[in-house]
Chains A and B, each alone.
Chain A
Amino acid sequence: MRSAARTRLAQALQLAPAILVLGLFMLGPLLLMGYVSFLEKGSYGGVKWGVHSVEAYVKFLFERDFDDSLILNPDYLRIFARSFGLAVATTVLALLIGFPVALYMAMQPERRRNLLVFLVTIPFWTNLLVRNYAWILLLRNGGLVDGVLQGAGVTEQPLGILYTNTAVAIGLVYSFLPFMVLPIYTSLEKLDFRLVEAAYDLGAGKALALRRVVIPLAKPGIAAGCILVFIPCLGAYVTPELLGGGKALLIGNLIQSQFGVARNWPFGAALAFFLLSVVLLAMTVYALRFKQRPEHGA
């Protein structure tokens, strides 16, 4: 009996540091951020403690006129729409590229499969800043892409892609593509290939087998990949800053500017809180829709 109590104590002691550190420095700040979003902003940055206000949330949609009446201001809504649009476009592009790649990888012999997985993961562990910087070298006027295209006689003028939405999309797809490939690969790797063979035996061609057997079985992986790409895209900061030249404002940059030049902390906190809510909502929907699947069979 005593030993049972001792084990429980040992378990509590082992978990305590993690709970303490993450509770204090991760969960704590998030809750504080939520609270700050309901405070009034200080005149020179910072916040007025104890002065509660929903002004930060009102600012999403409205601006105050001279006589303090609210008028609809679609500027921030537009930034949100642009961020969503770019995140959706990136996710779709990543899926179109990522699925065939994952399928190819899953069909390789085992040794080669492991090597390919390793090659996909390497860029993930390298510096995001550096990888985006590399795209500046490639995309800028007179950069490598221009050089190759002009050398081949395809174009004569510089493309001028850098600092446009296209550059941001290229950078985002590049940054997060491994997150799409890996989960899809994982679900395809577990796929019982006899099911595909059965489809062939029943007269299905490759396209039909793909559509009716492979893709449905890979759905959890596809969903996971889409979530893993969509979420970091929505909050992306580095890529729009470097490849978009800070011209096309996205949520991430808007949030940052509230703590820099704009000096409106409650609004920044509210924006971040909103972003967090969207992410948690997406995760919850995903968890409810796909997480229980394996228990039902398959």
Chain B
Amino acid sequence: MSRLRRFPGTAAMAWAFFAYLYLPIVVLVVLAFNANSSATIWTGFTTDWFGRVANNPDIVRAAKNSLLVSTVATIVATAVATLAALGMARRRFRGEGAVSALISLPLVVPEVVTAVASLLFFVLLRIDLGLLTVAIAHTVFCIPFAYLPIRARLDGLDRSLLEAAGDLYADPWRTFWRITLPLLAPGILSGAMLAFIVSLDDFVITYFVAGAGGTTLPIYIYGMIRIGVSPEVNAVSAIMLVVSIAFVSLSYLVGRRG
């Protein structure tokens, strides 16, 4: 039976694909530990570059900006998305399709277009470009990423539990805090983590709306890359990769549990 399910050539293609997918990531992380400062020829193991990165005040400031923006965007976007998911999962209503389209709009519109539109919006409304505008833009595109896992979790929820709470004289408010929210928690956490990652990694939209005061880590890294390949870039990049992968893995595990 398993022989029937085997299509010749696909296994080789799949392994080549996974190699292609992970080779650059592995190479980058390995080179971040390379003692040679020319960045691509291996001469020995060192963790010096990470020390240099940690002692570079510009990188540290950019990293702090990134964390600040991502934290704010994640909290606001997750709160908004949770409420929206609760609202959308109720009875159907007129305009439901329009609201649903609005929520997924940031996923559909090409990043460059969103970036340009946001830039024009902020500038023409005379809102100074900086961390505030970055945080607003990030909140917007984080909403659908937070929304999707929460909505999926909500749709999989056993409605009879909520009805049981009602039968036991719990008012809607109490039902929400004692039943809905705890059951929803893994979805919310998973959504929040994805929002955080998407925000932390964003480059294009940030690049347009950051101005001089909104330099986040990816913006700073971009500046470094434009100057040229260097072991410091390798080290910061490796850190970003590891943080992202750790977060996604966590989000995956949390989302699966319960």
Contact A33 B117 (CB under 8 A): yes
Chain B residues with CB under 8 A of A26: 102, 105-106, 109, 114, 140
Contact assessment for A18 and B117 in the assembled complex, using a CB-CB cutoff below 8 Å: no
Whether A122 lies near B248 (C-beta < 8 A) is yes
CB distance from B208 to the nearest CB of A (A): 7
Q: Tell whether B218 is near chain A: CB-to-CB under 8 Å.
A: yes
From B23-31, B55-63, B181-189, the one touching the partner chain is: B23-31
Tell yes or no: B212 within 8 A of A by CB. no
A193 at interface, CB cutoff 8 A: yes
Interface flags for B76-98 (1: CB within 8 Å of A; 0: not) read 10011101101110110100000
List which A223-255 residues lie within 8 A (CB) of chain B: 231-232, 234-235, 237-238, 242, 251-252, 255
User: Is A21 a contact partner of B143 (Cβ separation < 8 A)?
Assistant: yes
CB neighbours of A121 from chain B (8 A): 248
CB neighbors of B among A28-52 (8 A): 28-30, 32-33, 36, 46-47
Interface flags, A118-149, vs B, CB<8A=1, else 0: 11111101111111011111101011100100
Question: When the two chains form their complex, are residues A14 and B204 in contact, meaning their CB atoms are under 8 A apart?
Answer: no
Q: Across the interface, which residues of A come within 8 angstroms of B200, CB to CB?
A: 127
- Which single member of A33, A36, A122, A242 contacts B225 (CB below 8 Å)? A242
- Bitwise, B109-129 to A at CB < 8 A (1) or not (0) is 111111011111101100000
B112 & A275 in contact (Cβ 8 Å cutoff)? yes
B101 to chain A, nearest CB (A): 10
By a CB distance below 8 angstroms, the chain A residues around B24 are 131, 134-135, 137-138, 174
Query: With the chains together, A256 CA to B5 CA distance in Å?
Result: 48
Query: Residue on B with the closest CB to A256?
Result: B112
Determine whether the beta carbon of B13 is less than 8 Å from that of A104: yes
| Contact of B108 with A by CB under 8 A | yes
Q: Which of A29, A238, A275 contacts B121 (CB 8 A)?
A: A29
> How far, in Å, is B136 (CB) from chain A's closest CB?
6
Q: Is A285 an interface residue (CB 8 A)?
A: no
Q: Does A197 contact B4, Cβ atoms closer than 8 Å? A: yes
CA distance A100 to B5 in the complex (A): 13
Tell me the smallest distance from the CB of B179 to a CB of chain A, in Å: 16
Chain A, interface residues (CB within 8 Å), range: 35 or more
Q: Is the CB of B13 within 8 A of A19?
A: no
User: Does the CB pair A30–B241 fall under 8 Å?
Assistant: no
What residue in chain A is nearest B83 (Cβ atoms)?
Answer: A14
| Residue interface mask B32-43, A partner, CB < 8 A = 1 | 000000011100
Enumerate chain B residues within 8 angstroms of A167, measured Cβ to Cβ: none
**Residues of chain A with a CB closer than 8 A to B79's CB:** 17
Cβ–Cβ < 8 Å partners of B6 in chain A: 107
Which are the 8 A-B pairs with shortest beta-carbon distances? A235-B110, A14-B87, A134-B24, A29-B117, A29-B121, A18-B84, A104-B10, A15-B87
Residues of A within 8 A of B (CB): 7, 10-15, 17-19, 21-23, 25-30, 32-33, 36, 46-47, 97-98, 100-101, 103-105, 107, 116, 118-123, 125-131, 133-138, 140, 142-144, 147, 174, 177-178, 181, 193, 196-197, 200, 206, 210, 231-232, 234-235, 237-238, 242, 251-252, 255-256, 259, 265, 268-269, 272-273, 275-276, 279-280, 283
Question: Which positions in B face A, CB cutoff 8 Å?
Answer: 4-11, 13-14, 17-18, 20-25, 27-28, 31, 39-41, 76, 79-81, 83-84, 86-88, 90-91, 93, 99, 102-103, 105-106, 108-114, 116-121, 123-124, 136-137, 139-140, 143, 147, 172, 194, 197-198, 200-201, 203-204, 208, 218, 221-222, 225, 229, 233-234, 237, 240-241, 244-245, 247-249, 252
